[in-house]
Amino acid sequence: MTYWRLHYHLIWSTQDRQPTLTLAREKVFYDVIYKKSEELGLIIHAAGNVPDHVHVVLSIPPKIAVADCVRHLKGASSNAMNQIPDSHGQFKWQAGYAALSIGDEALDTVIAYVKRQKEHHRELSVIGMYEMTDKDG
């Protein structure tokens, strides 16, 4: 058996950063990413969102590329959210994403940050580096 400790903080946003991640879509998003993660052998430590972007802290086994992981999570979740009545197939994620590696020492800190996304955005206490979804911020 292979031993691995590969932790990542993934961030991606809705198309054009529009606030389209409604409460109904949010529930579907979480259901889908946890199910898809189980299928892929990923370990989700925390996930959080606001209406225009999501954060996921997870461990990805070395047999899966980070880009493939993101592709699966984004694809499965957007597909499911487009099945919600009144979505009319209009929900889309933006093309890019951010992937930050996390050491064991920082894992608990990042998990706590991600779990409190709504609070951080409400109080304007976000950490800039953790909020970028592409190289331009």
Question: Residue 57 sits in a domain of what CATH number?
Answer: 3.30.70.1290
β partners of residue 47: 56
Residue 123 lies in a domain: yes
Please give the biggest Cα pair distance in the chain. 46
- The pLDDT, as a whole number, for residue 137 is 46
Q: Is residue 61 part of a domain?
A: yes
Least confident of 9-23, 28-42, 71-85, 116-130: 116-130
How many CB atoms sit inside 10 A of residue 81's CB? Answer: 24
User: Does 63 have pLDDT greater than 90?
Assistant: yes
Whether residue 88 is contained in a domain is answered as yes
Query: Is residue 118 assigned to a domain?
Result: yes
- Which of 62-71, 77-86, 115-124 has the highest mean predicted lDDT (pLDDT)? 62-71
Residue 125 pLDDT exceeds 50:
yes
Domain, as residue range, for 53:
7-130
Residue 110, both tokens: 């990042």
pLDDT at residue 86, rounded to an integer: 78
Using the predicted structure, report yes or no on whether residue 11 has a pLDDT greater than 60. yes
56 within some domain? yes
The tally of domains found in the chain comes to: 1
Is the pLDDT confidence value at 61 over 50?
yes
pLDDT for 85: 82
Nearest to 96 by CA among 49, 132, 61: 132
pTM value surpassing 0.85: yes
Q: Is 2 inside a domain boundary?
A: no
Whether 113 is in a domain gets the answer yes
Is residue 135 in some structural domain? no
